[in-house]
Amino acid sequence: MEEQALEIRTAEENEGPILTGYAAVFNKPALIRDRRGDTYYEEIVPGAFKRSLSGTKEVFALRNHDSNALLGSTLVNLKLWEDNYGLGFELRKAGTPDFENAYAAVKSKLLRYCSFGFNVAKGGEKWSVRNKIPYRRITDVNLGEISLTHIPAYSQTSVEVRSIVLNDSEDDIEKERQQRWNELIKKYIQEGK
């Protein structure tokens, strides 16, 4: 499971709130401690979600990886994509108490990050050792869910609250994504990473 940032966009008119962000980011190693207590670095590489996203398997949106806190599904209100930055998502209002509670927690910044549940596809990982620490590069996953969470593996993420206009053109949306990407790159460079 990997954690990342979330953002809120409030749609105008009757469409309702939209949660958007990245459930995973590429090329950002994170120190992971697994269930056995073993520690290693893990990095997701571009293309790791391509096969999962091209399939027809339903992917769920949950809160804290809890299947009893269902926020959405790719068959109903969850859109997923892979771009240069990572695994992006847009989660539209589901009309459930779980969604409303999660939306309120994100809006108040109590819930600021994302994660994803997966298992590695056959041949989808490469292990090495760097500075005497195991290093895992994930190249292909079977994606099962994304989760909104408050405990991130990656601390370099942030949250925004924005509004959208319903009649935005695809070009405007792409320009907005590109602007966000440029801001993230600038932040990354400024942090000296």
- Residue 173's pLDDT is 54
CA distance 107 to 85: 23
DSSP 143-182: EEEEEEESS-S--S----EEEE-TT--HHHHHHHHHHHHH
Q: Could you report how far apart the first and last alpha carbons of the chain are, in Å?
A: 23
- Walk along the chain (193 residues) and give the pLDDT tens digit of each residue: 555 555 555 554 456 788 888 889 999 998 888 888 889 999 999 999 999 999 889 999 999 889 999 999 999 999 999 999 999 998 988 888 999 899 888 888 888 888 889 999 999 999 999 999 999 999 999 999 999 988 766 554 433 334 444 444 455 555 665 666 566 666 656 665 4
pLDDT computed for residue 161 by the predictor: 39
The percent of the chain in helix, strand and coil, each rounded to the nearest 5, is 20, 45, 35
pLDDT at 111: 87
pLDDT at residue 186, rounded to an integer:
64
